[in-house]
């Protein structure tokens, strides 16, 4: 049982860390991209959206190349923290963060863009700075977008496979998350175990969909 649960806990851990870190990244980039105008803004938006269309294997390949112990980034990270990025939890965490970035940032940005411009302008004329305006007026008015972003990021991380397999492999306790465990048990011809993992993920996905629907109704009523 403990052995069966390990990949599920690992998936959960990965999803929680990814969502927490991306929540911070999402809010900060929402602030910068929505409240300021500067050169190269549409390029940054395009780069953030890139993982949506990029095949996971392409992303996985570049991440693998970048994080190799012999590469610059991988070497620096290993020297600084004494941990190796590839085939470790840190590696798949970074991979998930990059891969799920648009799932967090896009809903936040479109939520912000959908707000009437006059709201933030009214706040400015009432003597509030950009930062105050962002957190006191804009963020409270995109609650449903924020919830959607958190949930979609979380669910997307749980379901991620290609990037994890490429940069993390299949290492128990480090990178063998639930989706990889299905693959692993298939390879080991333990079809009943693979079946159980698949069932858990199926139920999880259904619950997420219901949760999103329920939340959207609830938030609409606020």
Partner 1 sequence: MVNRDIATRIHITIFLMLLCCSMMAQSIKVAVASNLLLPMQAIEKKFESKYPYEVELIPGASGTLTSQIINGAPYEIFVSADDKYIDEVIDKDKAHGGPQIICFGTVYLWVKSGIAGDDPAAILKQEKVKSIGLAHPDLAPYGKLSRDWLEVKQLGVLVHDKIVYGTSIGQVNQYIAAGSVDAAFTSNSLKFSQKKGEGKFIKIEEIWMDPIPQTMLILKTDGPGLFVATLFKDFLLGKESRRIFQDFGYELPVAE
Partner 2 sequence: MVEAAYSLDCTKKYADRGRSFSLEAELTLSKGSFTALMGPSGAGKTTLLRLLAGLEKPDSGVISASEFVWSSPSAFVAPHLRHIGYVFQDYALFPHLNVKANIQYGFREEVDNTWLEQLLTVFKIQDLINDRPASLSGGQQQRVALARALAAKPALLLLDEPMAALDFSLRNEIRGELKQMLGLLNTTAVMATHDLLEATILADHVVWLEDGKVVREGAPREVLKAELLRLKEQTRDI
The pattern of x and - marking residues 117 through 146 that bind partner 2 according to CB under 8 A reads -xx-xxxxxxxxx------xx--xx-----
CB of 202 to partner 2, least distance (A): 37
Based on CB atoms, which residue is closest to partner 2, 82 or 127?
Answer: 127
Q: Which does 171 bind (CB under 5 to 8 A by kind): partner 2, partner 1, none?
A: partner 1
Kindly give, in sequence order, each residue whose CB lies less than 8 Å from that of residue 80, ignoring residues fewer than 6 positions away: none
Number of residues located near partner 2, criterion CB under 8 A: 16
Q: Which of 1, 43, 53, 189 binds partner 1 (CB under 8 A)?
A: 189
Stretch that binds partner 1, among 26-34, 102-110, 186-194, 195-203 (CB under 8 A): 186-194
Q: Write out the two tokens for 137.
A: 């007026």
Cα 171 from Cα 219, distance rounded (Å): 40
Dihedral of alpha carbons 175, 178, 182, 185, sign:
positive
Based on CB atoms, which residue is closest to partner 1, 82 or 140?
Answer: 82
Phi and psi at residue 67, to the nearest 5° = -100, -5
Q: Under a CB-based contact definition with an 8 Å cutoff, are residues 173 and 158 in contact?
A: no
Stretch that binds partner 1, among 36-44, 142-150, 179-187, 210-218 (CB under 8 A): 179-187
CB of 16 to partner 1, least distance (A): 21
Site for partner 1 in 51-70 (CB under 8 A): 64, 68-70
Alpha carbon distances (Å) from 10 to 50, 104, 220 = 26, 21, 34
Cα 44 from Cα 49, distance rounded (Å): 9
Print burial letters for 180-197: b (CB count within 10 Å at least 16), e (below 16): bbbbbbeeeeeeebbeeb
CB of 33 to partner 2, least distance (A): 19
Alpha carbon distances (Å) from 206 to 17, 151, 166, 203 = 22, 13, 27, 5
The pattern of x and - marking residues 110 through 149 that bind partner 1 according to CB under 8 A reads ----------------------------------------
Site for partner 1 in 29-48 (CB under 8 A): none
Count, in order, helices (H) and strands (E) of the chain: 11, 0
- Positions that interact with partner 2 (CB under 8 A): 116, 118-119, 121-129, 136-137, 140-141
Q: Which residues make up the interface to partner 1 (CB under 8 A)?
A: 64, 68-70, 74, 84, 86-88, 169-172, 184, 186-189, 191
């Amino acid at each position: 049982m403990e052995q069966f649960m390990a990949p599920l806990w690992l998936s959960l851990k990965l999803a929680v860390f990814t969502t927490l870190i991306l929540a911070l990244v999402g809010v900060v980039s929402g602030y910068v991209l929505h409240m300021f105008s500067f050169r190269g803004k549409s390029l940054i938006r395009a780069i953030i959206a890139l993982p949506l269309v990029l095949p996971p294997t392409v992303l996985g390949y570049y991440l693998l190349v970048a994080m190799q112990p012999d590469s610059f980034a991988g070497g620096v990270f290993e020297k600084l923290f004494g941990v190796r990025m590839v085939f470790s939890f840190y590696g798949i965490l970074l991979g998930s963060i990059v891969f799920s970035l648009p799932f967090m940032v896009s809903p936040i940005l479109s939520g912000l863009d959908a707000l009437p411009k006059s709201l933030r302008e009214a706040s400015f004329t009432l003597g509030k700075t950009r930062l105050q305006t962002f957190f006191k007026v804009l963020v409270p008015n995109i609650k449903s977008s924020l919830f959607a972003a958190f949930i979609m990021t979380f669910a997307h991380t749980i379901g991620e496979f290609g990037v994890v397999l490429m940069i993390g492999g299949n290492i128990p306790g480090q990178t063998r998350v639930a989706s990889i465990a299905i693959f692993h048990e298939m390879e080991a011809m333990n079809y009943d175990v693979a079946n159980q993992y698949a069932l858990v993920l199926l139920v999880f996905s259904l619950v997420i969909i219901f949760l999103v629907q329920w939340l959207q109704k609830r938030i609409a009523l606020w």
